[in-house]
Amino acid sequence: MAFISSGYDPAKPMEGRITDIGPKHYDQFYPEVIKKNKGKWTHHEILEPGILVHVAENGDEVFTVRCGGARIMSATHIQEICDIADKYCGGNLRFTTRNNIEFMTDTKDQMLALKADLNQRKFPGGSYKFPIGGTGAGISNIVHTQGWIHCHTPATDASGTVKATMDTVFSDFQDMRLPAKLKISMACCLNMCGAVHCSDIAILGYHRKPPILDHEYLDKVCEVPLAVASCPTAAIKPSKVELPNGETVKSVAVKNERCMYCGNCYTMCPSMPLSDAEGDGIVLMAGGKVSNRISAPKFSKVVVAFLPNETPRWPTMTNTIGKMIEEYAKGARKYERFGDWTDRIGWERFFDVCELDFTHHLIDDFRDAAYQSWRQTTQFKF
Amino acid sequence: MAFISSGYDPAKPMEGRITDIGPKHYDQFYPEVIKKNKGKWTHHEILEPGILVHVAENGDEVFTVRCGGARIMSATHIQEICDIADKYCGGNLRFTTRNNIEFMTDTKDQMLALKADLNQRKFPGGSYKFPIGGTGAGISNIVHTQGWIHCHTPATDASGTVKATMDTVFSDFQDMRLPAKLKISMACCLNMCGAVHCSDIAILGYHRKPPILDHEYLDKVCEVPLAVASCPTAAIKPSKVELPNGETVKSVAVKNERCMYCGNCYTMCPSMPLSDAEGDGIVLMAGGKVSNRISAPKFSKVVVAFLPNETPRWPTMTNTIGKMIEEYAKGARKYERFGDWTDRIGWERFFDVCELDFTHHLIDDFRDAAYQSWRQTTQFKF
Amino acid sequence: MAKHNTPLLDELESGPWPSFVSDIKQEADVRAKNEKGIDFQIPSEACDDLLGLLELSYKDGTTHWKHGGIVGVFGYGGGIIGRYSDKPVEFPACASFHTVRVSQPGAKYYTTEFLRQLMDLWQLRGSGLTNMHGSTGDIVLLGTTTPQLEEIFYTLTHDMDQDLGGSGSNLRTPADCIGQSRCEYACYDTQELCYFLTMMYQDELHRPAFPYKFKFKFDGCPNGCVASMARSDLSFIGTWKDQIGVDQAEVALYVDGTNPSNAGAHKGRDWGAFDIQAEVVDLCPTDCMKYENGELKINDKECTRCMHCINVMPKALKIGKQRGISMLAGAKAPIVDGAQMGSLIVPFLPIDQTMNKQLADFDSEEDWMEYLEEKYAAFVEVIEAVWDYWMEEGKNRERLGELMIRQGLQKLLEKIGMEPQAVHVDHPRTNPYIFWKEDEVPGGWNRDINEYRKHHAR
Amino acid sequence: MAKHNTPLLDELESGPWPSFVSDIKQEADVRAKNEKGIDFQIPSEACDDLLGLLELSYKDGTTHWKHGGIVGVFGYGGGIIGRYSDKPVEFPACASFHTVRVSQPGAKYYTTEFLRQLMDLWQLRGSGLTNMHGSTGDIVLLGTTTPQLEEIFYTLTHDMDQDLGGSGSNLRTPADCIGQSRCEYACYDTQELCYFLTMMYQDELHRPAFPYKFKFKFDGCPNGCVASMARSDLSFIGTWKDQIGVDQAEVALYVDGTNPSNAGAHKGRDWGAFDIQAEVVDLCPTDCMKYENGELKINDKECTRCMHCINVMPKALKIGKQRGISMLAGAKAPIVDGAQMGSLIVPFLPIDQTMNKQLADFDSEEDWMEYLEEKYAAFVEVIEAVWDYWMEEGKNRERLGELMIRQGLQKLLEKIGMEPQAVHVDHPRTNPYIFWKEDEVPGGWNRDINEYRKHHAR
Ligand code: SRM
Ligand code: SRM
Ligand code: SRM
Ligand code: SRM
Ligand code: SF4
Ligand code: SF4
Ligand code: SF4
Ligand code: SF4
Ligand code: SF4
Ligand code: SF4
Ligand code: SF4
Ligand code: SF4
């Protein structure tokens, strides 16, 4: 392999340097029908799962075919997407906020041809390349994060848990039988890059062991005061430690009982790793939402405190998620989001019908605000 | 005046000493009809404001006439109560949890005679001695505290604010036109002996100036560490102070901007008084409840941050309370408690209809939990 | 003629509500005239001076009472609140003005005989002024001097068979709603349980051994007439586990307007004809009722026993028969960490419906107490476990509720041996900051950095 | 033949959902075969080794990535995440595997031309793997080496007119919902505002000057399709101030079943005939609608613009015409003080409905930006006031939301010159712990103890 220069001259980094030009202007990327009718759409209809039509004031229509995307996408895969868009969509496409691909065309016939084409594209392993779905009162793609594929703090994998879950709920990706939209998110550690804190169902990677202390290196690679300050529960104190070789070094001590394994110290200091095969696993949350429709946005609640990392397919996790969705489908009313359903029937009933154990872990004990989640009424169901 | 001994011998305090005998047994105090039918009441009816009948399985009835009480009661007044109870009620009576007097009789005729008698008893100033009312969907007596009549920390008077308020809402004490019960409470300082934190309407005495420091005496009469520890906002620090006479004493310093005038330091240390004619006054709260009926108990919310102590009748306060009650009466639905009404129409609408100013003081900023009271939705009314 | 001019206070004599000013003046007058010839043991002008001092507060807008000194009766750590004025020269007759808290009887029933005796004592040895009652529930005798305290206590205990109430870092005088004595909604005998625990814990009531004050209150049902959920470290609220009793014939009489809705509580306004659908079914918080073809149906499994429907139709609907108590913990006023409502800790403790014997059925109060100890053994167990925990872990001046917030509800549940259940929360935690116990995590917490580094290069 | 055996990962190739394993294998294969004859600038086995490393994680249950070193492009403080594996010997081809965050275009519309160009660059200089897209919104190019960073940046800026996105204590790449470009609910042009602010704050995006990260997101209406309320320090949500437009004829077509409810979103189940009363009127959170005599009436004064009725009947009901934006502040993930939703800080900033000129209407992008500066001046003012405050008071690694909790919402409102209003809260404070400002209290705070003692003896 020979180094190929882009034109950049390391000796003169500032020469001809272009900075602060931002993203490309959206106008350059709009399909024609979009550019023409922007701001003039009057209504839309979901024709079938994954296929929408939007109608403009002047009668123009745009048909959208939404396809699931794994989010990890290879250049080769994206080139295939481009081929499709060139063939059916005049060379335009978009991605949704949930990492689905949207192919748009302005005629019904093109849409039908496109649909047929997409449905027959599969990976050698058998999975669809472009499953159509994810609209209306169904389940869309999972917003998620890096996991073991790229990050240093995950307590589980992201892509694997997502693949296993989407396989499980796939029929609901291609259907609209649920009472309302059901949004699933995944984040591989408490940093929650997947913003799972307000999803109907959320998969969260969680550590359960306090950091291991690499005393020999700690003071060399970390700033002790920053590590100390990083801890939300004040579990970390500066300390002097005698190494096996007799040398005394500056380091930190962790009060294990005060630690809730958030990993914030590890973010500040590489000599405090947390991960552990037995300690790490999955927390399931449920009942959050973001839309302001009918009810205000809500946080997700922890419903399963821990599930081990059953690689490669996390069956206990997917079964639990499946069960929750079935019960929701059965129990909720039309338009009722997951969390509105649980609030209506009461969380005790939710644990009942979903056959989930309620354990001490699920009672909030983080700071003063925890109190507001306890039951301050005699109203409860047996 | 000559000292009269009870029989107690100060030289031998333990001689014949009786302790730990508790209150009298309730059995001794029940009226006959109560004793006979305890646990066997089947239903009741409020015949008219202040007059209830309870019916037992065997058909027995007990008629209760409820009268307002000022709570401060003189021995002479209580003796008059006893006279009435002897005349109409076989020598029994009770007080309610809101300091009303309940006269009970087992015949309707007695009840009618009693009612006529009570209605004509007045103090020389013109006030009723025994106003009948306080039942059903009306306003009952105000639960309250000591105020300037007996306590060292009040920011207002209790008995006076209560008298002024009860005079204002008197027609509702004798009526049942409201959507639901409306409970008013009063506490003369943040200690809230009146437990105003969950009343439909609450009157609260409030200081607005940080403590004055009596450096010369502080270390002599207080324990500095206790004073420091008492402060919920960590506004107090130990400090050395030079007195005018050149002497240096141990004392404390208060960071005024961190103080919210709770007076907890003064409770721990008499050398840190807070009260001040201009600083002290009234906070009005609203929308709390205790019952579990329909909705869970709720805390009262601060709706007026400050009203000065307009002695002797606090007209601004009573007018504001009157206005809130009128709007509630107009706007709420049958059975709807005050706080359920405000929650339904939204607090912005409440401030509107009650013509109250919303000021920065009303936004919670006390600790983490404050956040939960802010508006986390786009839903609001213009 | 009044001793002091009180123009401001005089304005509080008009208006319909009983005037405390008129009443204090009345007592001042009685003392001045002293028609009964009482040899007042504290200054006869106590009420006059109190009015004068209060008038001053009305003028200058501040209190004139100082911190209470430590006064009390021998061997007790509570029951008396010391109080001195900061104007002893100007108003000498109320310069010291301590209050005596007298333990009130169950549901505040009295005989006139008892009250008269108490008032005689108080006119002799105190100001003659009272609070009927203090907010905790005590009879509050307002204003006496230090030398009188032991005398009052002696008379109370020897002549009236009556004890003091609580103050300080003690159990405070427990209080109850009227309950079964006159209320059809009561799910248990509030007076009995309140009295039993009061007697059981006399020591805790009189001798400070706690980190701070502690309160019990007893509500017979979720209507909460003694406001226990707001004002007691432990609240006992009656409830039931089975079905609401429905008398369809009476339901019909509500529907046709014969029975007044809510027992007549809304008589003051014309709310229109009773609408069972709108007023009962639609307001049920759990949506567990139906009214169809003239019949009211309740899906009791989903009912949360809020009392609404029963309150609206007391003749038709009845509390269940399998009764017991929900216990909530931690309610308190806002000092220092903010106010708290009680949090549910024991969802349901049944009360044996066959154990109905009354004091009268026993030879002595001791025998009866023993019987009650058996009847209420489960409650005593919870209470003592709560106290053990609080006394072990509570900081000075830390209420139970504050300790619960500091250490988490689950800690208290663990200490009282209560399995955590979903009913303990309104909703599960929204943050995933879960504390695990080391023994719950396979492999424990102590790991070897060298072992770790074998698999993870620096 | 694959370089590593990946039996665990292989199990993730089956099932209907697109398999990332299959896709990575596909790219590994492309690189191995290299039919296009690319002179790969990072090891051609990058994808193979990534699979091998990932398989190891699936086996031993832990990650094998280390802390990112500080890598980046000259003059920028963000846009690159450094990443090294802790198994560099075993899996050398992905030993360093940095990501490049590329600023995505508005609403993620693309031309295939652009994507192809980008993929060509990435196959040459990186692993060929991407995330389309990262959770913040960027195009994430996954896996390259340090020497390639400047080269990639050079090609992006010089040949593709494309910049990097954000990371570090910067403004992060703003993101928007599809908005007016294809959605009838959009109350403003999310792409325009998002683009304008992104361009306006390029400096803030590339050069860390903040205490921590800062995110903007733009939702065209309260449905919140870009989840701004949950994921952005400042969220911009479209809304309106006047009436919902009602087309009664279309309402009738919903009622008779011609129009599918919720635009067909519920087609997967037979929910029975559409019931406008139950599905619209009764579910309105403010109870401000009536359906009577075939007519739908909305009391718009009480409407809180929740979108429900419009969502259910998009052909009949239309967002209002007097449009603007609600701004909420402080949303974030749970680290460190717990998660936050955005809190309303600016209830409504109108958008001038007459200022509709597009880029094409101007001679240059600069002219257009100037026009937008005028159009959005009020927003810029709020944003900069928020930043000034946060930069002044925020601690290191303290998100805006955490600062708001630490100092109180009213402090932020004061700093942005916003009068506190009841709409800023769900409910007023429940604790009376009010902080007054000294100048609000007559007489000030400094009092003289001797003066006090004149009236109050010790
Ligand atoms: C394409 C997309 C916007 C984009 O810029 O990419 C989008 C598009 C539409 N959304 Fe959305 N929403 C999109 C993400 C979201 C999100 C964010 C998310 O998923 O993380 C939310 C908030 C989720 C939450 O509350 O947790 C969201 C909450 C809604 C709602 C409110 C639903 C509710 O019941 O609460 C509506 C209204 C409705 O469904 O009638 C809505 C309605 C719509 C409409 C009908 C708007 C329109 O008229 O075009 C679009 C088609 C809906 C559909 O798919 O059924 N869209 N929508 C996003 C598609 C993501 C995907 O691939 O699945
Ligand atoms: C790549 C991405 C996840 C993904 O797979 O999509 C990501 C990846 C990381 N995030 Fe994130 N965050 C990503 C979106 C988010 C989001 C979602 C969003 O922006 O909408 C959040 C939640 C919203 C928020 O900002 O609160 C998020 C909350 C965090 C946090 C917690 C911040 C907090 O205040 O609570 C951290 C911790 C930190 O900053 O030290 C964090 C830190 C990180 C770091 C930089 C961890 C680290 O210290 O090295 C991760 C690098 C992973 C890697 O190797 O590439 N990331 N991170 C997302 C950015 C891609 C993009 O630019 O489009
Ligand atoms: C006498 C008393 C109990 C006692 O032991 O002294 C009592 C007695 C009754 N209460 Fe009460 N309540 C009494 C204080 C309370 C309190 C506590 C308080 O006022 O501080 C509450 C909780 C207040 C709150 O929620 O803030 C209370 C909330 C109720 C409720 C629930 C009302 C609601 O709409 O939320 C009912 C049910 C009802 O009214 O139908 C009720 C019902 C009743 C009934 C109907 C019970 C019965 O069948 O006898 C009694 C007559 C009601 C009436 O006055 O209209 N009682 N009731 C108390 C009278 C106080 C007074 O003088 O005004
Ligand atoms: C007399 C009484 C008010 C009344 O006028 O009725 C009262 C009076 C005092 N209370 Fe109280 N409290 C009284 C019931 C309450 C209640 C209501 C209740 O018990 O249901 C509360 C709220 C419930 C609770 O316990 O939280 C209450 C919460 C407080 C507090 C705040 C405690 C807290 O943890 O938040 C204090 C402050 C303290 O303990 O230092 C306090 C302190 C005081 C002191 C002792 C102030 C002091 O430090 O000297 C007051 C003596 C006043 C005096 O001169 O007589 N008092 N106090 C009530 C007791 C009478 C009785 O025994 O029946
Ligand atoms: S959630 Fe945690 S582990 Fe996952 S990508 Fe974000 S920072 Fe990394
Ligand atoms: S993991 Fe979190 S709680 Fe534990 S020591 Fe580190 S920073 Fe503290
Ligand atoms: S509320 Fe405050 S001032 Fe009033 S009696 Fe209680 S402690 Fe005293
Ligand atoms: S009044 Fe309260 S906040 Fe102020 S210094 Fe005293 S204890 Fe602290
Ligand atoms: S709490 Fe219940 S049982 Fe007690 S008096 Fe009130 S309604 Fe009756
Ligand atoms: S008690 Fe309350 S929850 Fe139960 S049926 Fe009656 S109204 Fe419904
Ligand atoms: S947020 Fe509103 S405007 Fe934006 S895409 Fe969603 S529904 Fe349309
Ligand atoms: S937008 Fe929401 S609040 Fe407004 S009328 Fe429609 S359903 Fe009601």
- Distance from the Cα of B369 to chain A's closest Cα (Å) equals 4
> Is the pLDDT assigned to residue B190 strictly greater than 70?
yes
The string of pLDDT tens digits covering residues B251-310 is 999 999 999 999 999 999 999 999 999 999 999 999 999 999 999 999 999 999 999 999
Residue C308, preceding bond cis, omega within 30 degrees?
no
pLDDT average, residue stretch A134-144: 98
Select from D416, D430, D451 the residue whose CB has the most chain B CBs within 10 Å, as the one to mutate to test that interface: D430
Phi, psi of A349 (to 5 degrees): -70, -35
User: pLDDT at position D68, please?
Assistant: 79
Distance of residue C198 Cα from the nearest chain B Cα, in angstroms: 7
Nearest residue on chain D to C68, judged by CA atoms? D458
Binary contact (B301, D436; C-beta < 8 A): no
3 state SS for D144-187: ECHHHHHHHHHHHHHHCCCCECCCCCCECCCEECCHHHCCCCCC
Is residue C301 less than 8 Å (CB to CB) from chain A? Answer: yes
C-alpha of residue A341 to centroid of ligand 3, in Å: 33
CA distance B141 to C73: 33
Looking at every residue in chain C, the average pLDDT score rounds to: 97
Partners of C147 on chain B (C-beta within 8 Å) are 3
Is D64 in Cβ contact with C456 (below 8 Å)? yes
Instruction: Report chain A residues whose CB lies below 8 A from the CB of D225.
Output: 97
0.90 surpassed by complex ipTM = yes
| pTM attached to this predicted model | 0.97
Contact A324, A318 (CB under 8 A): no
| CA separation, residue D387 to residues A370, C189, D405 (Å) | 30, 62, 16
D177 Cβ closer than 6 Å to some ligand 1 atom: yes
- Residue D41 pLDDT: 98
Relative to the alpha carbon of C165, which ligand is closest?
4
| D231 C-beta closer than 6 A to ligand 2 | yes
Chains contacting C (3 or more CB pairs within 8 Å): A, B, D
pLDDT in tens, B353-365: 999 999 999 999 9
Is B242 exposed, middle or buried (CB count within 10 Å of its CB: 0-12, 13-18, 19+)?
exposed
Say if residue C68's pLDDT is above 90. no
Furthest C-alpha separation in chain B: 83
Residue D64 CB neighbour total at 10 angstroms: 23
**Cα–Cα–Cα angle for D373, D375, D378, rounded to 5 degrees:** 80
% of chain D exceeding 70 in pLDDT:
100
Q: Is the pLDDT of residue D1 over 80?
A: no
The pLDDT, as a whole number, for residue B194 is 83
For ligand 10, whether the C-beta of C258 sits within 6 Å is no
Half-sphere exposure of C34 (CA within 13 A, CB side): 14
Q: Whose CA is nearest to atom 2 of ligand 8?
A: B262
β-strands A92-95, B201-206 pairing: unpaired
Question: Who contacts B111 (Cβ-Cβ below 8 Å, separation ≥6)?
Answer: B51, B63, B65, B105
CA distance C320 to chain A (A): 14
- pLDDT for the residue numbered C1: 67
- B107: pLDDT strictly greater than 80: yes
CA–CA dist A97, A181 (Å, integer): 15
Residue holding tokens 């100036």?
B209
pLDDT at D70: 85
| Residues making up chain C, counted from first to last | 458
Residue located via tokens 């008779």: D256
Per-residue tokens: D46: 């990058």
Does any ligand 10 atom lie closer than 6 A to the CB of residue C296? no
Q: Which of D404, D421, D447 sits opposite B276 (nearest CB)?
A: D447
CA nearest to A122 within chain D? D18
CA distance D41 to D144: 9
Tell me the ligand closest to C219's alpha carbon: 9
Q: Which of A372, A378, A379 sits opposite B372 (nearest CB)?
A: A372
- Are the beta carbons of C422 and A374 separated by less than 8 Å? no
Per-residue DSSP letter, C173: P
* Residue D314, C-beta contacts closer than 8 angstroms, at least 6 positions apart: A43, A44, D184, D185, D262, D263
pLDDT on residue C336:
84
Ligand 2: which of A159, A190, A193 to mutate, most ligand atoms within 8 Å of CB? A193
Q: Which of B185, B186, B192, B265 to mutate to test the pocket of ligand 7 (most atoms within 8 A of CB)?
A: B192
For residue B371, the distance in angstroms to the closest alpha carbon of chain A comes to 9
pLDDT per position as a tens digit, A216-242: 999 999 999 999 999 999 999 999 999
> Is residue C337 very low, low, confident or very high in pLDDT (cuts 50, 70, 90)?
confident
Residues 6+ apart with CB under 8 A from A171: none
For the stretch D197-220, pLDDT in tens is 999 999 999 999 999 999 999 999
DSSP H helices in chain B: 32-37, 75-88, 108-119, 159-168, 170-173, 215-221, 224-230, 264-268, 315-331, 338-345, 347-353
Q: Is D299 in the pocket of ligand 12 (CB under 6 A)?
A: no
Nearest to C157 by CA among C53, C82, C233, C75: C75
Closest Cα in chain C to A382: C301
Beta carbon of C178 within 6 Å of any ligand 3 atom:
yes
pLDDT beyond 90 at B1: no
Contact D67 A152 (CB under 8 A): yes
Q: Which chain C residues are Cβ-neighbours of D88 within 8 angstroms?
A: 457
pLDDT in tens, D155-172: 999 999 999 999 999 999
Mutate to test the interface with B, among C66, C97, C101, C131 (most CBs of B within 10 A): C131
Please report residues of D whose CB lies closer than 8 A to that of B359: 420
What is the mean pLDDT of the segment spanning A70-81? 98
The dihedral formed by the CA atoms of D263, D264, D265 and D270, expressed in degrees to the nearest 10: 140
Model confidence band, residue B375 (pLDDT cutoffs 50, 70, 90):
very high
Q: What are the angstrom distances between the C-alpha of A32 and each of A39, A108, B67, B181? A: 14, 16, 80, 64
C180 CA to centre of ligand 1 in angstroms: 56
Nearest to D431 among C88, C339, C457 (CB): C339
Give the tens place of pLDDT for each residue, B296-308: 999 999 999 999 9
| Chain C contact set for D90 (CB, 8 A) | none
Choice from A143, A144, A150, A153 to test ligand 5 binding pocket (greatest atom count within 8 A of CB)? A153
Nearest to C259 by CA among C267, C250, C268: C250
A267 lines ligand 2 (CB under 6 A): yes
To the nearest whole Å, the CA of C438 is away from the closest chain A CA by 8
At A22-75, the pLDDT tens digits run 999 999 999 999 999 999 999 999 999 999 999 999 999 999 999 999 999 999
State whether A378 and C407 contact (CB < 8 Å): no
Q: How far apart are CA C410 and CA C407, in angstroms?
A: 8
From the CB of residue C33, how many other CB atoms can be counted at a distance below 10 Å?
A: 8
Chain B, nearest residue to D235 by Cα: B378
Decide: B7 and C157 in contact? Cβ < 8 Å. Answer: no
Ligand 11 pocket test target in D182, D185, D319 with most atoms within 8 Å of CB: D185
Cα→Cα distances C390→C187, D108, D393, Å: 29, 58, 39
**pLDDT tens digits, one per residue of C357-375:** 999 999 999 999 999 999 9
pLDDT tens column, B339-350 = 999 999 999 999
Residues paired with residue A184 on neighbouring β-strands, in sequence order: A201
Distance from CA of C241 to the nearest CA of A (A): 7
Q: Whose CA is nearest to atom 45 of ligand 2?
A: D81
On the CB side of C345, CA atoms within 13 Å amount to 32
Rounded to the nearest whole angstrom, what is the distance from the C-alpha of residue D271 to the centroid of ligand 12? 22
